């Protein structure tokens, strides 16, 4: 990746992650999970994945590319799971520890620092498209397959390209096609149990939307003049435009290691 691409990704997933955690702590505990779910962690998608994962209270959940830890906290609160977070960005790691106190390992999802069969469940939300390409995406899927036990289940949220050429795509993102993702899942030795379009799932409840909007407004008030904020917002706007145009789609998938 170019230095500009590296900077764009760091702004979005590290600098703004730290700011988000600070805003959430200042607003209070009711805002922690919604704030930390900015981006890929919408309640309906998490509910869909948790239903498919079929957890029992106390099960370990490996969250690869965990960000600020919002989805892991949601899984802990609503399904009684014990999350283990893996996240490459240092500010995001610090933020998740401060907000939720879960075990966090600073590492890349292509090389999870966990033993074979470490848990029965794992998920990876909005991470595949942030890699350097197909080789890294396949490596993530193979790592997920390695760290779950035989019969274990894996949840994915993935942004997929529905056209060959995207209009003004965000920097540093590489979106597989639906067919390419299906092929990679098979190469990783995983089976697809179910899938759904995120757009077909219910919208967040009103109180969730109010809290996320409060977080967004406070982030903008504090940081709107900072270059990192402007870059992150531009990245997000590009993805939103592509979703609106139908050039991207968000899918949730339930996978299983045979």
Tokens describing residue 224 = 């709107």
Q: pLDDT, tens digit, for every residue of 9-20? A: 555 667 888 999
Q: Domains of the chain, with CATH numbers? A: 3-256 (3.40.50.150)
The whole-model pTM stands at: 0.93
Q: pLDDT, tens digit, for every residue of 116-144? A: 999 999 999 999 999 889 999 999 999 99
Q: What angle do CA 60, 88, 109 make, to 5 degrees?
A: 55
Q: pLDDT, tens digit, for every residue of 194-228? A: 999 999 999 999 999 999 999 999 999 999 999 98
DSSP one-letter code for 223: H
Tokens describing residue 87 = 């996240």
d(CA 78, CA 110): 28
d(CA 75, CA 210): 21
Tokens describing residue 80 = 């009684």
Residue with tokens 């949840």: 155
| Whether 192 contacts 253, CB under 8 Å | yes
């Amino acid at each position: 990746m170019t230095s500009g691409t590296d900077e764009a990704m760091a702004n979005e997933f590290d600098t703004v992650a730290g700011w988000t955690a600070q805003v959430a702590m200042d607003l209070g505990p009711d805002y922690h999970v919604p704030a930390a779910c900015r981006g890929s962690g919408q309640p309906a998608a998490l509910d869909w994945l948790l239903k498919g994962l079929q957890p029992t209270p106390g099960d370990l959940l490996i969250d690869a590319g965990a960000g600020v830890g919002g989805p892991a906290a949601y899984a802990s609160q609503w399904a009684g799971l014990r999350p283990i977070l893996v996240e490459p960005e240092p500010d995001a790691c610090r933020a998740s520890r401060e907000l939720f106190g879960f075990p966090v390992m600073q590492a890349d999802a292509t090389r999870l620092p966990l033993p074979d069969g470490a848990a029965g469940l794992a998920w990876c939300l909005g991470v595949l498209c942030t890699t350097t390409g197909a080789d890294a995406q396949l490596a993530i899927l193979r790592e997920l397959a390695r760290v779950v036990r035989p019969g274990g289940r894996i949840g994915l949220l993935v942004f997929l390209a529905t056209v060959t050429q995207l209009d003004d795509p965000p920097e540093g993102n590489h979106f597989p096609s639906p067919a390419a993702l299906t092929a990679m899942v098979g190469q990783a030795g995983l089976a697809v149990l179910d899938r759904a379009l995120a757009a077909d799932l219910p919208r967040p409840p009103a109180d969730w939307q109010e809290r996320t909007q409060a977080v967004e407004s406070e982030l903008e008030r504090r940081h709107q003049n900072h270059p990192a904020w402007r870059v992150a917002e531009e990245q997000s706007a590009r993805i939103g435009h592509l979703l609106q145009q139908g050039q991207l789609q968000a899918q949730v998938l339930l996978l299983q290691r045979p």
